[in-house]
Amino acid sequence: MKVTCMEIGSMPDLQYLILVKTNIETWIFKMKMPYLSKEELKAKIDSLPRINIALLPTPLQEAHRLSEKLGVRILIKREDLTGLAMGGNKVRHMDFCMADALQKGADVSLNINPWMSNNARIIGAASKMVGLDYINIAPASKFRPIQGNLLIQDIIGTDLHLLDTANHDEVNEYVDKLETKLIEQGKTVYNHVKEHMSRSSATISYMEATLEIEEQLANFNVAENLEVFVASGGAQGGLMLASQSLNLPWNVHGVIVGKPEESYADVVTWSNNALNHLGFTERLDWSDVEQLDKYIGPGYAIPGDDCIEAIRMVAELEGILLDPVYTGKVMAAVIDYARTGKFKQEDTVLFIHTGGLPELFDFADELKRRD
């Protein structure tokens, strides 16, 4: 699923679009963000309330043996090392999200996220860290083993509601009743599903991560374009918007790991909310977003053979662990691009390792090499 030249005629607002040629495959469109200096972008981000939860900067490292194997230079941004409760991209979000919750006087953090959710783990750990109670309602999770992200939520003292149903209306009714009860008890509830900053913080914090990466790249002698691979979502939006604004030669490829229609909506909605929070008037359209839908495998949270191969390859060559829900699928895309000759020899790939490591343990049967 890529935007091609065929779609020029159907674009409504051509004056807001510029046409760029990626050095990889085909034409894509990009919305025109205003050019900002690094200082100006930083000042915009610094205007938002924040606290410091993530351990930053995370390392940027050369993956020598993987690069040699795939025939293209690969750098890995270690967002798995952000610190809190086994780390990951979500920890960065908490710097902004928890500042928002505290500013709103919250004393309970309420969330809806199923068993495999890293978001649930990190929101839980961050909530506890700043002194809030944490409740997670987990749809379709009643019969799941207490392992991976569920185990960590349990250890940190989450009030976990493991529901049998995944039905949207039933889950919402359950949450509404619970929230009403809490409010009647005099609690101020920060409901992560309703609060913009809970998801927009993904885009905002990856606009900031763009500044961090750009500074680190100065030590890596990257001559040509940077081909950035990341799981499609808020981080993709942040990397796209900030790299455009700073006029960096980056192509940001979002790899879809679940339902494509949800992925598009996520990137566009969260990015536009983030732009609004930061005072930009520009808005992202779905056609501005490049998302690769070939690496989903059998479905969300179901790793295919290419994902399992990617996890084993990176572990064996670099001693770095990827996860079976997100980063394994993103690395499967990098491997496929390398094998099918889509990279030029002088390209540098930047793989954003967004974490997700607790879910390795929920997929032991799929991942172990021995019977």
Q: Which residues pair with 27 in a beta bridge?
A: 21
- Quick check: 89 binds ligand PLP (CB under 6 A)? yes
Nearest-angstrom CA–CA distance, 363 and 327:
14
Closest CB 200 distance from ligand PLP, rounded Å: 10
Q: Is 258 in the site for ligand PLP (CB under 6 A)?
A: no
Q: Among residues 175, 231, 268, 313, which is the contact residue for ligand PLP, using CB under 6 A?
A: 231
Question: Which among 99-107, 132-140, 175-183, 319-327 is the span making contact with ligand PLP, rule CB under 6 A?
Answer: 319-327
Q: Does 76 bind ligand PLP (CB under 6 A)?
A: no
- Report in angstroms how near the CB of residue 198 gets to ligand PLP at its nearest: 10
CA nearest neighbour of 83 among 355, 315, 311: 355
Member of 100, 306, 323, 347 binding ligand PLP (CB under 6 A): 323
Least separation in angstroms between CB 10 and ligand PLP: 27
* Residue 234 engages ligand PLP in binding (rule: CB under 6 A): yes
Handedness of CA 217, 221, 223, 227 (dihedral sign): negative
Q: Based on the shown chain and the rule CB under 6 A, indicate whether residue 363 belongs to the binding site for ligand PLP.
A: no
Q: In whole angstroms, how close is the CB of 6 to ligand PLP at the nearest point?
A: 28
Query: Candidates 7-15, 137-145, 305-313, 354-362 — which segment interacts with ligand PLP by CB under 6 A?
Result: 354-362
Residue 179 makes contact with ligand PLP by CB under 6 A: no
Q: Of 148, 233, 297, 328, which one interacts with ligand PLP (CB under 6 A)?
A: 233
Distances (CA, A) of 188 to 105, 179, 199, 225: 7, 10, 19, 48
In the complex with ligand PLP, which residue's Cβ is closer, 126 or 182?
126
- Out of 98, 99, 235, 275, the residue judged to bind ligand PLP by CB under 6 A: 235
| Structure-token pair, residue 262 | 């949800």
How large is the angle between the packed helices 260-277 and 196-217, nearest 10 degrees?
A: 80
Q: Which is nearer to ligand PLP, 263 or 348 (CB)?
A: 263
Among 29, 326, 343, 363, which residue interacts with ligand PLP (rule: CB under 6 A)?
Answer: 326
Contact 48, 42 (CB under 8 A): no
Does 354 bind ligand PLP (CB under 6 A)? Our answer is yes
Distances (CA, A) of 340 to 14, 72, 318: 33, 12, 22
Distance linking the first and last C-alpha atoms of the chain: 37
Q: How far apart are CA 293 and CA 62, in angstroms?
A: 27
202 lines the binding site for ligand PLP (CB under 6 A):
yes
- What is the residue whose two structure tokens read 């159907």? 10
CA torsion through residues 236, 242, 244, 248, sign: negative
Distance CA 84, CA 199 (A): 18
Of 30, 48, 88, 115, the residue at the interface with ligand PLP (CB under 6 A) is 88
Three-state secondary structure call for residue 310: helix
Min dist CB 254 to ligand PLP, Å, is 9
Binding region for ligand PLP (CB under 6 A): 88-89, 118-119, 202, 231, 233-235, 266, 323, 326-327, 354-356
